[in-house]
């Protein structure tokens, strides 16, 4: 059993995970990160936060971290998350997103951890019958990413029903932006997030921006997504933990704003913000990409004390650009140092 005073964040050295760590610290909570650094960056872990370099698939390392750090709640963010990649490498996605979640959940039960917030995805819905899509809509994922996350949700719900483990699954829509104070952002080279790609192209760090498909049944033919600022999403994890700490029950919640923006609308917004005409190439659709996904976002606002502070595409893009400029400046300084 643990004293329950520390929050363990798996995947806390990643893009979203590092923002969640900051939100937890800002809320006055004690945090430890568990990350194998396969895609995360050690530099993303704030100074003073312990880092356990291990995989969630390493049962002994997970249990040792829980015991030695006095962990009472876990935010489980470690996993694989690129839908088209999951189509060509499904084994890795099922292992990271389902098998490793089972190992983590077993550790929770064995070590007496009673609260878990799970990083899920809107990809569980597949191609929704209607928009916006709410949490009770059928889950018909069209790629291994969504399928493995949906299976992990079901696994955790079954374990929650049988054991003293309450779970909030947060279904992320399209996460973008960076910490407004410049403390964190997307660090991974070659990332596929549209807003990051477009910002890098505007700053001359990429040759072009590819639009994957312009023949969807949408107003301008390009895919539509509900973009949520990463800082707002991070705060949702804090509120989910607070919900569980106050005796709240297991829940599944969409994390989005309830408004969609097309690929071309996003690119126009980046051009407005930077004054740069982006080099664009139209490419075929990618396997596993739905035409449009927009959240019904009422449930999270009614269940949690969560209100978005950055619900604006231009704000998301402004923070993303600021972060990319900061990273470019650091690279130049390192080059000449």
Q: Say if residue 331's pLDDT is above 90.
A: no
Beta bridge partners of 52: 34
CATH architecture of 194-225+259-290+311-336: Alpha-Beta Complex (3.90)
Q: Please state the domain extents for the chain.
A: 6-177+227-255, 194-225+259-290+311-336
Name the token pair of 67. 């015991």
Beta bridge partners of 116: 74, 167
Q: Are 199 and 317 in contact (CB under 8 A)?
A: yes
The predicted structure's pLDDT at residue 287: 85
2 versus 303: the higher-pLDDT residue is: 303
User: CA nearest 241: which of 4, 14, 70, 57?
Assistant: 4
For residue 32, how many C-alpha atoms fall within 13 Å in the half-sphere facing its CB?
21
Q: How far apart are CA 304 and CA 242, in angstroms?
A: 8
Name the token pair of 44. 């993303």
**Chain center to CA of 296:** 18
CATH architecture of 6-177+227-255: 3-Layer(aba) Sandwich (3.40)
The confidence band for 192, taking pLDDT boundaries of 50, 70 and 90, is confident
β-pairing, 292-293 vs 209-212, is: unpaired
Catalytic residue among 15, 93, 125, 145: 145
Helix (H) or strand (E) holding 102: helix 100-111
What is the pTM for the complete model shown? 0.95
CA angle at 141 for the pair 138 and 144, rounded to the nearest 5° = 155
The predicted structure's pLDDT at residue 333: 54
The model's pLDDT over 113-162, given as tens digits with 9 standing for 90+, comes to 999 999 999 999 999 999 999 999 999 999 999 999 999 999 999 999 99
SS (H, E, C) 1-19: CCCCCEEEEECCCCHHHHH
Q: Are 23 and 235 in contact (CB under 8 A)?
A: yes
Does the annotation count 145 as an active-site position? yes
Rounded to 5 degrees, what are φ and ψ at 170?
-100, 115
């Amino acid at each position: 059993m643990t004293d329950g005073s520390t929050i363990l964040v798996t995947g806390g050295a990643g893009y979203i995970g590092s923002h969640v760590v900051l939100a937890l610290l800002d809320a006055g909570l004690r945090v430890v990160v568990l990350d194998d650094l396969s895609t995360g960056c050690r530099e993303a872990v704030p100074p003073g936060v312990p880092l356990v370099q291990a995989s969630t698939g390493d049962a002994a390392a997970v249990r040792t971290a829980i015991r030695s750090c006095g962990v009472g709640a876990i935010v489980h963010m470690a996993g694989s998350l690129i839908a088209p990649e999951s189509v060509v490498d499904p084994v890795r996605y099922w292992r990271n997103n389902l098998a490793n979640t089972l190992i983590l959940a077993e550790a929770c039960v064995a070590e007496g951890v009673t609260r878990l917030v799970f990083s899920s995805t809107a990809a569980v819905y597949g191609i929704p019958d209607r928009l916006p899509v709410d949490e009770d809509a059928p889950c018909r994922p069209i790629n291994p990413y969504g399928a493995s996350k949906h299976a992990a949700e079901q696994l955790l719900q079954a374990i929650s029903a049988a054991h003293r483990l309450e779970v909030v699954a947060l279904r992320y829509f399209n996460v973008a932006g960076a910490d407004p104070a410049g403390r964190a952002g997307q660090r991974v080279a070659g990332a596929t997030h549209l807003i990051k790609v477009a910002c890098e192209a505007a700053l001359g760090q990429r040759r072009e921006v590819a639009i994957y498909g312009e023949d969807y049944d949408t107003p301008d033919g390009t895919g539509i997504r509900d973009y949520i600022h990463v800082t707002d999403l991070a705060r949702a994890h804090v509120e989910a933990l607070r919900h569980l700490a106050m005796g709240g029950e297991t829940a599944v919640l969409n994390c989005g704003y309830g408004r969609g923006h097309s690929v071309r609308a996003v690119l126009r917004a980046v051009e407005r913000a930077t004054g740069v005409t982006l080099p664009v190439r139209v490419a075929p659709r990618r396997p596993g990409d739905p035409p449009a996904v927009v959240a019904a976002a009422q449930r999270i606002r009614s269940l949690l004390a969560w209100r978005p502070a950055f619900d604006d595409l231009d704000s998301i893009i402004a923070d993303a650009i600021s972060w990319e400029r900061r990273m470019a400046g650091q690279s130049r300084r390192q080059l000449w140092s």
